[in-house]
Amino acid sequence: MATLSFNSTRIKSPALKSHKPISKSHFLTKSCNISFLFSSKNYQQLHFKPNSISESSVSVPKEAEFDDSEEDDPTSELSYLDSETDPSSITEWELDFCSRPMLDIRGKKIWELVVCDSSLSLQYTKYFPNNVINSITLKDAIVSISEDLGVPIPEKVRFFRSQMQTIITKACKELGIKPVPSKRCLSLLLWLEERYETIYMRHPGFQKGSKTLLALDNPFPMELPENLFGEKWAFVQLPFSAVREEISSLDKRFVFGAGLDLDLLGIEVDDKTLIPGLAVASSRAKPLAAWMNGLEVCSVEADTARACLILSVGISTRYVYATYKKSPITTSEAEAWEAAKKACGGLHFLAIQDDLDSDDCVGFWLLLDLPPPPV
């Protein structure tokens, strides 16, 4: 079964400065018992088998051999800008400002600021003592990054820790930056996982077994807002080649949605590999897709215990997106959909259409389930 592996070749050393239908299922609308439809044009029916996605169809590049003699100094900081990247093109940052499982000479936890962009063309890390953690420190650090690397103050900053929202929001707003709470900080999340293994664990003050100070939230799912209601939905699957076409046409056809940099994520997918997804139909598809587009959609999960689908958006917002009548058959289908998602390394998609028989999508989001970082 495929696993996700971060493509660490883009990480720089500190030395570098510069479907089968589920019957009687329904979407969360005011009217119940909406019949389940399936599109034979766009999607393939879900005839799930235990090994429906082969190990060879989804592969992960082997990690490069690591030379211990050239390991990074875990106490060093990083300030890097890709020389081939136009600095003015980096307008959105991903940011984490949190304690690490390391102690300083006073025996206090070390805090760290980690900043990057989605392509890792910008990479920055800086350690801080725990007695200077405030919005002023963060604001000054953002200005320093801009000045030192010659990049503009970003238009948006994405962050995934709700506990740091006050500090990050205040610092950003004082600089005219739009703070965006979102778990779609995939480059940052994977970089933190990589840093845990290559930097933090080798730090002289590393504390094995230390719990994360600011754990990620996973709250109880809420009722779906009325403006996000759909009318019909279906578990579907698309060959990866078709998924890629949908992503590449987002800008061309002015479709709402978002893609992912699979090269950076280190996952290789064969064009014939079937990617699981959720298709949602609505007579008001465009307004629905527009509302969804402002939510930082993170993932869709089949909750077999509650017989429903969970939509995760932003940092910690979870909605009961749709429900179905619980039975051995529907439970099996939902479990199979989740298994297919796992076999694809967590890769899945959400498509919004005028009708489930339509050839076009009004909104398309490529999504990825990721476990929380170890820090």
Domain assignments of the chain as residue spans, ordered by start: 79-202, 232-368
Q: Say what the pLDDT of residue 251 is.
A: 72
pTM, 2 dp: 0.82
Residue 312 structure tokens: 């995760």
Q: What pLDDT shows up at residue 146? A: 98
212 burial type by CB count under 10 A (0-12 exposed, 13-18 middle, 19+ buried): middle
d(CA 148, CA 12): 17
Radius of gyration of the chain (CA): 22
Report whether 309 contacts 322 (CB < 8 A). Answer: yes
Residue 32 confidence (pLDDT): 31
3-state secondary structure (DSSP) of residue 262: helix
Long-range contacts of 245-249 (CB under 8 A, 24+ apart): 246/349, 246/351, 246/361, 246/364, 247/364, 247/366
* Phi and psi at residue 214, to the nearest 5°: -115, 80
Give strand ranges (E) for the chain.
Answer: 26-27, 58-59, 78-81, 92-103, 109-116, 122-128, 156-159, 178-181, 222-223, 232-239, 256-258, 268-269, 274-281, 297-303, 308-313, 317-323, 347-353, 363-368
Distance CA 246, CA 328 (A): 34
- Please, which residues bridge with residue 277 across strands? 236, 349
Q: Say how far apart CA 36 and CA 26 lie, in whole Å.
A: 7
* Residue-by-residue pLDDT tens, the chain, 375 positions: 344 455 666 677 654 333 333 333 444 433 332 223 333 334 543 433 333 333 333 443 444 444 444 467 899 999 999 999 999 999 999 999 999 999 999 999 999 999 999 999 999 999 999 999 999 999 999 999 999 999 999 999 999 999 999 999 999 999 999 999 999 999 999 999 999 999 999 999 999 988 776 666 678 899 999 999 999 999 999 999 999 999 888 877 778 999 998 888 777 889 999 999 999 999 999 999 999 999 999 999 999 999 999 999 999 899 999 999 999 999 999 999 999 999 998 999 999 999 998 888 999 999 998 888 888
> Rounded to 10 degrees, what is the CA torsion of 91, 164, 314, 337?
110
For the domain 79-202, what is the CATH code? 3.30.420.10
Distance in angstroms (rounded) separating the CA atoms of residues 191 and 10: 10
Tokens of 66: 């690591």
The three-class DSSP label of residue 268 is strand
Quick one: DSSP state of residue 139?
Answer: H
Please tell me the predicted confidence (pLDDT) of residue 236.
Answer: 95
